[in-house]
A and B are shown apart, each in its own frame.
Chain A
Amino acid sequence: MSDLLRMTDLNVEYPVGGGRHVHAVSDVTLAVRKGETLGLVGESGSGKSSLARALLQLPPPKAGSVLFDGNELTQMRGEALRAVRPRLQMIFQDPIASLNPRRRVAEIVAEPLVVSGVRDPAERTRRVRAVMEAVGLDPDVVWTRRPHEFSGGQCQRIAIARALVLEPKLIVCDEPVSALDVSIRAQILNLLEDMKARFGLTLLFIAHDLAVVKSVSDRVAVMYLGRLCEVADSASLFATPAHPYTAALMAAIPVPDPDIPLGDTKLRPGDPPSPLDPPSGCRFRTRCPHAEARCAAEVPPLREIAAGREVACHFPLIG
């Protein structure tokens, strides 16, 4: 499978005043293959959302390359970037906040068509109706309504319709079901799977909920404090995590089964460090049960330990 998106040595920094910077994403190299769903997992401050925004050039990353569908996005500006954007769409966490409350649903879903220069109103209407039907919205019912008249789940359907209307190749989904209730979450996850199959999409699926990520992702990348810890296919990653942080995350998941004993995260006591002042060497070392002197001295590079398995750890749990 060829790569649809390839990020190389991506770095994102934000100024936080006093001349200091937070290194939100550090030296991330990661590819998304055509037709797959790549899950990106991490806790708050791991840089997963910063990574998503940087690859969309919102804003462009401080350093590194983003190669998408043959285009080097970091070198493109203005009109050239706008010409690529229809192929690259995004869905956000809070479906209600991501829709303009004063617009009608038909206008919201049609807006990407307007922006990308589809001039013919009849053509726009045809495409908006088709995409609404695809996501399970009845165009005749929702057409003139506004976002506040809908529940969170329905708003997320509207956001998905808006992302699909330009027939993109890649959709970046940033915590698309985190704000939704359990019973609605399953509807939206199923919808994303259906849309992926129907439109031949590639998805970058960002979430903190490992069970959700596993249910949709072909491969999974784990981030911690701005760096990648591990990249592997879903089945291997969940069966035999190679990075101690992945193992801790999996042991910490509250499993909805009272007969499964609580797992042991083996984490050293203490809170995650601040992204403003990350530890030297391996950023996970302050909480890692296996940390040694080398972990403080050397940043572990992301390296292949088995076919299709990459890990950034001096002492991986397998291999």
Chain B
Amino acid sequence: MSGAVSGGPLLSVRDARVGFGTVRGLLRAVDGVSFDLQAGRTLGIVGESGSGKSVLVRSLIGLVGTGSGAIVGGEVRLDGQDLRGLSAASFRHLLGRDIGIVFQDPMTSLNPVMKIGRQIGEGLRLNRGLDSAAAARRAVELLVEVGIPEPERRASQYPHELSGGMRQRVAIAIAIACEPKLLIADEPTTALDVTVQRQILDLLQREQRERGMAMILITHDLGVAAGRADDIMVMYAGRAVEMATTREIFRGPRMPYTEALLRSLPRLTDPTHTRLSAIPGRPPDLARRGTGCSFAPRCTYRSGRCEAEEPVLSREGGRGFACFNPLGTSGGAGA
């Protein structure tokens, strides 16, 4: 397998769409999202529940397909290979080999009736052609790498015998076993306590750097994204509303939703009883989307145009935002 086409992105997504037919009409869960991800970089995708962040990423790797009644569109290329036309069987080969995935809840993503060592070795046997003994040896090495004490004993245990943090370490060992080019982590620490979360994020970051993998980190926690992502895509109501480097997002958001999200966070630096800047209202019903910007009804900077016309993600100096009255210009409220 070759590396990324020189200079080109490892993952390229154009106009990704996912719709679900409901009794109330077509629900546009993901509505025209495009982005590129370079090898070795971490893209944080942040958004609230229902923003489409998980559905987007799962649709890219064939985990949301016609079988689930979804209507999927757009173009997805991994290392130059078009993924949209792939059969289910071809996706099975891709997942684990070229793409590793870590889900939120390791209790449901691991097989409860298969020993841990065998689960880690499964991909190695299928994708790398290792025999059982070699796969078992490699599984123990991987357990050492992800920081599990007594790896030989753990390899012959079942998932329920491990703590939540250790289960997530096992899930990471499985995800990286075949040296994938792309690691997808979907809320990997949301089910974990804060001190364990810290250890798991450190592990993910170390593996990503050492192996030069590209990583997509899906999270609702802006703190997690701030500490771990190179670039951030902010999603709202199925669309990418802002895309920039992590520092740009946190230092000078252009899209009012991003700013409002950051302002609504309680900060440890603020004294107790500091009033929070809540965002009024709530996200729109995706099956009854009107014209205009989805955030307009909650936006302090909205103008007549925002309700009549849909802003597209425009590019300005490498960063993108979907807003007619972006912050940091005379049209907005100023930076």
Contacts and interface: CB of A to CB of B under 8 A. Distances in A.
Interface of A: 43-44, 151, 153, 181-187, 189-190, 193, 208, 210-212, 214-218, 234-235, 238, 248-259, 262, 265, 267, 269-272, 274, 287
Contacts of B153: none
A136 B291 CA distance: 28
Given A182-B264, A258-B227, A265 B198 contact: yes
Nearest to B46: A182
A257 B226 contact: yes
B48 interface: yes
Nearest to A254: B223
Interface in B186-245: 193-199, 201, 220-227
Nearest to B148: A271
A270 B147 CA distance: 9
A190 B149 CA distance: 45
Interface residues of B, number: 49
B305 interface: no
A43 B271 contact: no
Given A183-B261, A185-B264, A211-B268, 9 more contacts: A44-B193, A183-B282, A211-B267, A212-B266, A215-B273, A254-B224, A256-B262, A257-B250, A269-B199
A274 B282 CA distance: 40
B196 A272 contact: yes
B1 interface: no
B264 A186 contact: yes
B195 A252 contact: yes
Contact of B226 (A153, A249, A251, A254): A254
A258 B223 contact: no
Contacts of B266: 186, 189, 211-212, 214-215
B275 interface: yes
Contacts of B298: 183
A1 to B, nearest CB: 16
B278 interface: yes
Given A181-B49, A270-B149, A190 B278 contact: yes
Nearest to B247: A258
Given A43-B193, A181-B220, A212-B266, A186 B227 contact: no
Q: Which 4 residue pairs of A and B lie closest in terms of their CB atoms, listed nearest first?
A: A254-B223, A215-B266, A43-B193, A186-B278
Contact of B197 (A182, A254, A256, A257): A254
B202 to A, nearest CB: 8
A255 B223 contact: yes
A253 B268 contact: yes
B277 interface: yes
Contacts of B276: 186, 189-190, 215
Contacts of A216: 272-273
B22 interface: no
Contacts of B226: 254-258
